[in-house]
Amino acid sequence: MKLIASLTSPYARKIRIAIAEKGLTCALEVDIPWLPETNVPAYNPLGKVPALVADDGGVWYDSPVISLYLETLGGPPLMPVDRVANLPVRQTEALADGITDAAVTAFLEARRPAGQQDADTIERQLAKIQRGLAALEERLLQRKGFGGALINIADIAVGCTLGYLDFRFGHLHWRTTHPELSAWAAKLFARPSFASTVPPAV
Ligand SMILES: N[C@@H](CCC(=O)N[C@@H](CS)C(=O)NCC(=O)O)C(=O)O
């Protein structure tokens, strides 16, 4: 099995952590989809990481689908088998991924030359991040979709979202305004799967 990933992608980090938590063996092929020489479109027509090449040659993307595929391979389950019990877990995962989408969009917009940036786009994405964080804090207070004693895919997705905010949006100081998430993330970030996948400073 081979994972096509960049080391800074929060979605790819989600899968790297899921693979580690499940104790699966997987080669890592580092590929940066923004570079002209990227090979990512050969695996994923959308040109995005992560993509996973299974041992049977099948290729899977995007990160929620790869997570589902990993569940078929054994190891500790990261989502409930029961479809009804699975819904709040996948909802929390989708909320976290959506915050990441907004953060990535805002980051890319803010990286454009000053005269070409659209302040409204950045503002709109930042509002999504703030509303999303408030919703995550509330869901965590209600323990909705989070794993509790056993880590699940929603925990991993939320951790990768918060890790991405640390990486690109340190100035938002999400810990100050979200104490429940802050205390919860401190324990999560100490796990070897998280500690070993912190994005490199670039
Ligand atoms: N929904 C996708 C998002 C993947 C994604 O947007 N990855 C970014 C890296 S952080 C990417 O490859 N972007 C390249 C591009 O958009 O061309 C997932 O969960 O896997």
61 and 103 fall within a common domain? no
| pLDDT score recorded for residue 113 | 96
**How far from the centroid of its chain's Cα atoms is residue 1's Cα?**
20
Could you give the CA distance from residue 157 to residue 182 in angstroms, rounded to a whole number? 15
Nearest Cα residue to atom 13 of ligand 1 = 48
Question: Does ligand 1 have an atom closer than 6 angstroms to the CB of 94?
Answer: no
Q: Is 49 in the pocket of ligand 1 (CB under 6 A)?
A: yes
Report the nearest-CA residue for atom 5 of ligand 1.
48
Cis bond leading into 45, ω under 30°? no
pTM score, whole prediction: 0.98
Domain harbouring 181, CATH code: 1.20.1050.10
pLDDT digits over 166-181, tens only? 999 999 999 999 999 9
pLDDT digits (tens, 9 = 90+) for 28-37: 999 999 999 9
Q: Is residue 17 one of the residues assigned to a domain? A: yes
Ligand 1 site, residue 71, Cβ cutoff 6 A: no
CA of 71 to the centre of ligand 1 (A): 21
Asked if 46 and 135 sit in the same domain, the reply is no
Place of tokens 């990261």: 78
- pLDDT value of residue 21: 98
Facing residues of 59 across strands?
53
Residue 25 structural domain: 2-71
Residues 88, 108 share a domain: yes
Give the closest residue (by CA) to ligand 1 atom 1: 62
To which residue do tokens 């990933």 refer? 5
